[in-house]
Chain A
Amino acid sequence: MAERRLLSRLYLRDFRSYPRLELAFAPGLNAFVGPNGAGKTNLLEAIHYLCLGSSFRAARDAEAVAWGADGFFVKGRLRDEAGDLDVEVAFRPGHGKVVRVGGRSLGSTAELYGTLPCVSFRPEDLEWAKGPPAARRLWLDRLLVQTSASYRAELLAFREALAERNALLVRNRHEKAARALLVAWREAYLERAAALAAERARALAEIGRRAAEELGALTGESLALAVVSGGEAVVPAAGEASAWRERYAAQLEAVAEEELVRGHTLAGPHRDDILALLDGRDARRYASQGQQRSLVAALKLAEVGHIEARLGRLPCLLLDDVFSELDGSRRARLGEAAMTRAQTFLTAADDRLLPEVAGARVFDVRPGAAQARDG
């Protein structure tokens, strides 16, 4: 049995629709029930801040500040075998964001990752297969930064190399840079790009195996995940940095002219896509509505398994209005496999959409307030 770290209390000040709110959670299922626009998703978003130091919406921190307030404050009390641990996220526009764990300010948000691992499942995730590549890359990054410190470090180093090389390409448009300078930054960039891609491919292979198992149990379909780089599908087991380096070097060669014109790096992990093959067919093109839903349910279960295996600890689940979207076997499997074991936070428009789980705590949510229901 994996260790559990639970979110036992949540305290909000001036966060979205909540001027002030304090909630105590159950170790199992916690359900936020209320009409649309009542602020249910805001509560999941606040919990996401405690997990990853940021919103799961494509939102800037300033947007989470309550109207008219000068900043927001989110605090959570985590409880495990070792005792209590407080996580705080404070943000003030113009002053930036401060994340504290156990009273100590973190040098960077990245140090928070993995403290309270989470898997979120939101309506947008149902578009996983057919949505834009950026969403799939973000999906994988958000998972891996929580489970791998070396992935976090590689991702930061890659982003730095990318930003430096892009700055050089932009400058080069105004004033021709020396050839040696362009070569040096291409080499330095390739080094970081290849290291990141190799680590990402290795992790994707493991997650792909878990997802394939889950999907097999759900629908009997076969599933394979692969990276698409330069229009070509790469078997994720190809986790050698040297192979990635050669691949990206060839791609950069092909776009060299265009890069000089556009002032932007056009090949690398930030341009790759992730591909799901369902029974050998590209899900981006061929997956039906039902297949997409099964695929996402399998991916979410694989995320839970990946986190549990890597961290020895179950993640908390943030299910935004999607439980009702799943039916029959998908719902049963997600419910039984995850919710009965992991601490779960879910939103629903009304009680009929709630799963039957013993010991669940239901919160009635209305604008600006949420209250635990008796019983």
Chain B
Amino acid sequence: MAFPGPIARLIEELNRLPGVGPKSAQRLAFHLLGRPAEEARRLAEAILAARERVRRCEVCCDWTDAPVCRVCSDPRRDATKICVVESPKDVAALERTGRYDGLYHVLHGAISPLSGVGPGDVTIGRLLERLRAGGVQELILATDPDVDGEATALYLKDVVAPLGVRVTRLARGLPEGGDLDFADELTIARALEGRREL
């Protein structure tokens, strides 16, 4: 079905968002049209403001609204540790634990030859600069436990080796508080592989 131009364009733009199929895009578009104009303006402004004011931290590449993010500029953080993650979402997840007091480095992706993402397309170069600047004793690799994340971690381990920094990898295992029979098969298999003495 053909919608009038502006509606069709809105649906098309919404459809580009991750996780939004053609049907959801249509529903969202009609929802926005049915609400007061003020609401739509607030949403549009929020999108624009975020897009214009948020940028990558000059140090760790996480999203920030200042040149250097809050974590990197916090003197209480332990600057001898850097935890490498794929995305800003992962920083938020680690921060929620309240158990990590070091710094981060956000790669903005993982190496994937199939998707044409090479080491130069993620922020590995910037990470190496930080390590060469000195002061870092431990690099914690917290990339996703999938195939791309594993390969990215293995790559980093190799290129970082000459710098003499201790490299560790997050343990893989079962989610805490979850039932064994609720975990997916691969998680259980990996947890079994990584079992330890009690």
Contact of A181 among B119, B185, B188 (CB under 8 A): B119
Q: Do residues B158 and A150 form an inter-chain contact, with CB atoms below 8 A?
A: no
Chain B neighbourhood of A183, CB < 8 A: 154-155, 158
Q: B148 interface residue, CB < 8 Å from A?
A: yes
Across the interface, B119 reaches (CB within 8 A) one of A163, A178, A187, namely A178
Contact B185 A153 (CB under 8 A): yes
Question: In the complex, what distance in Å separates the CA atom of A153 from the CA atom of B189?
Answer: 10
Known contacts A167-B113, A181-B118, A188-B147; decide if A157 and B158 are in contact (CB<8 Å).
no
Q: Give the residues in chain A near B147, CB-CB below 8 Å.
A: 157, 160-161, 164, 188, 192
Given contacts A157-B147, A164-B151, A184-B155, contact A241 B193 (CB under 8 A): yes
| Residues of B with C-beta under 8 A to A14 | none
Contacts of A177 in B (CB 8 A): 118
Interface residues of B in 138-153 (CB under 8 A from A): 146-148, 150-152
| Residue of A161, A183, A188, A191 most packed against chain B (CB within 10 A) | A188
Contact status B151-A150, CB under 8 Å: no
Report the separation of the CA atoms of residues A187 and B153 in the bound assembly, to the nearest whole angstrom. Answer: 11
Q: How far is the CA of A157 from the CA of B118 in the complex (A)?
A: 20
In the complex, which residues of chain B have a beta carbon less than 8 angstroms from the beta carbon of A184? 111, 151-152, 154-155, 157-158
* B151 engages A180 (CB within 8 Å): no
Q: B155 near A181 (CB under 8 angstroms)?
A: yes
B83 to chain A, nearest CB (A): 19
Q: Which of B150, B159, B185, B186 contacts A188 (CB 8 A)?
A: B150
A161 CA to B111 CA in the complex, in Å?
A: 12
Alpha-carbon distance A160/B188, docked complex (angstroms): 19
Closest to B190 in A: A195
A185 and B151 within 8 A (CB): yes
**Per-residue interface assignment for chain B, residues 102 to 144, with 1 indicating a CB less than 8 Å from any chain A CB and 0 otherwise:** 0000000001111000110000000000000000000000000
The answer, yes or no, to whether A13 is at the interface (CB within 8 Å) is no
Asked if B197 is at the interface of the complex by the 8 Å CB criterion, the answer is: no
B184: CB under 8 A from chain A? Answer: yes
A26 to B140, CA, bound (A): 61
A241 to B184, CA, bound (A): 20
B155–A150 CB distance below 8 A: no
A184 to B122, CA, bound (A): 16
Residues of A within 8 A of B184 (CB): 153
Is A260's CB within 8 Å of the partner chain B? Answer: no
A165 to B189, CA, bound (A): 23
Contacts of B157 in A (CB 8 A): 184
- Complex Cα spacing A181 to B146, Å: 17
- In the complex, how many angstroms separate the beta carbon of B192 from the nearest chain A beta carbon? 10
Residues of A within 8 A of B111 (CB): 181, 184
Residues on A with beta carbons closer than 8 Å to the beta carbon of B188:
150
Q: Contacts of B112 on A, CB cut-off 8 Å? A: 164
B19: min CB distance to chain A, Å:
12
Across-interface contacts of A254 in B (CB, < 8 A): none
Nearest CB on B from A15, distance (A) = 26
B185→A150 contact, CB < 8 A: yes
Contacts of B185 in A (CB 8 A): 149-150, 152-153
Q: Mark A161-187, 1 if CB is under 8 A from B, else 0.
A: 101110110010000011011011101
Contact with B along A129-172 (1 / 0, CB 8 A): 00000000000000000000110111001001101110110010
Residue of A nearest to B153 (CB): A184
Question: A187 contacts B154, CB within 8 Å?
Answer: yes
Q: Known contacts A153-B184, A153-B189, A187-B154; decide if A165 and B113 are in contact (CB<8 Å).
A: yes
Task: Give the complex CA separation of A333 and B184 in angstroms.
Answer: 39
B186 with A157: CB separation less than 8 A: yes
Contact check, A167 vs B114: say whether CB atoms are below 8 A apart. Answer: yes
- Which residues, 151 to 175 on B, are CB-close (under 8 Å) to A? 151-152, 154-155, 157-159
Assembly CA distance A323 to B27 (angstroms): 54
Given A150-B189, A153-B185, A195-B189, A185-B113 contact (CB < 8 Å): yes
Cβ–Cβ < 8 Å partners of A154 in chain B = 186, 189
Contact B148–A164 (Cβ < 8 Å)? yes
By a CB distance below 8 angstroms, the chain A residues around B148 are 164
Chain B contact residues, CB within 8 Å of chain A: 111-114, 118-119, 146-148, 150-152, 154-155, 157-159, 184-186, 188-189, 193
What would 27 A/B residue contacts be, using CB atoms closer than 8 Å? A150-B185, A150-B188, A150-B189, A153-B184, A153-B189, A154-B189, A157-B186, A160-B147, A161-B147, A163-B114, A164-B151, A167-B113, A178-B119, A178-B159, A180-B158, A181-B118, A181-B119, A181-B155, A183-B154, A184-B152, A184-B155, A184-B158, A185-B154, A188-B151, A191-B150, A195-B189, A195-B193
4 cross-chain pairs, A with B, having the tightest CB-CB distances, nearest first: A184-B155, A168-B113, A188-B151, A167-B113
